[in-house]
Amino acid sequence: MSNTIERIKCLIIGSGPAGYTAAIYASRADLKPVMYTGMQMGGQLTTTTEVDNFPGYPEGTDGTAMMEDLKKQAERFGTEVRFGMVTSVNFSNEVGGIHKVTVDETTEIEAETVIISTGATAKYLGLESEQRLIGGGVSACATCDGFFYKGQDVVVVGAGDTAAEEATYLSNICNKVTMLVRKDYMRASKAMQHRVKNTPNLEVMYNTEIDEVLGENVVEGVRVVNNKTGEKQVVKVTGVFIAIGHKPNTDIFKGVLDMDETGYLITEGKSTKTNVPGVFAAGDVQDKEYRQAVTAAGTGCMAALDAERYLGALL
């Protein structure tokens, strides 16, 4: 550990839309925030090539450029952005207590308030061809990227409610949607299954898995395999939507902060307050319903306001 322990008013862990928006509001409130970006500076959005649904970008932008804009705006008001990973936490349960965190397993920092915006990571299949084409036709968010596939043929991988919702959403935009379900049944609720069944341009292929995503720079199709018969076939599509779930980045908070059975942080009512005084959560780390850049930014604003009011009440 370093010999000198730095004390700060507001520590922000994570650097996506939630973290940067929290930083903008916290710095304008003179909380002098320090942000640790994590290993993926800018978060999940940096894997998105085009962003057309964030207010203020009439011509659209790409995820990396948008995160750079938010970073510059946060720094303009005095946020100190640091590249590093928070590796452990020791939060105080006392109102007005000091929270201790360790960065990169070597540097200890003390903070009066902490805003957690570590996000969630989309689960992928793990195929080399899939990873190579993320942003080139492979996506984990239909509401983010579906617009770009208007009138085209796409596949959705998954069998739960999320996959069914993404598939029916895409059916309103795309020419044809094919759901690839690994087993011989869907896990989605009966209501969602009925919706899928009653959507004319939506086909479900059971016992089917992707063997390879085809295409050099953009998706040109998928080779699928029937896991019962071993039969392979090529389905020509331009988009592949993976809907097999997300994993919130909350491992270091287990046993410290309240979370649901899948690891999403639980916040109090409509606020961003966690069960620990002075610790707040914003963005996808506490939101498994919407998972949009604009909603993450909104909760980032809320977290900064909650932190400011928390500190104000201590005076």
Enumerate the active-site residues: 141, 144-145
Q: Please report which residue ranges of the chain form alpha helices under DSSP H.
A: 17-28, 63-76, 128-132, 142-145, 161-171, 190-197, 293-314
Which has the closest alpha carbon to 249: 26, 59, 15? Answer: 15
Report the distance separating Cα 100 and Cα 105, nearest Å: 12
The DSSP letter of residue 134 is B
**Single-letter amino acid, residue 303:** A
Burial of 49 (0-12, 13-18, 19+ CB in 10 A): middle
Helix count and strand count (H, E) for the chain: 7, 17
The C-alpha torsion from 182 through 183 and 189 to 191, rounded to 10°, is: 90
Beta strands of 55-193 (E only): which ranges?
80-82, 86-90, 99-103, 107-116, 120-122, 138-139, 153-157, 176-180
> What is the pairing mode between strands 34-36 and 80-82?
parallel
> Any bridge partners for residue 248, and if so which?
120
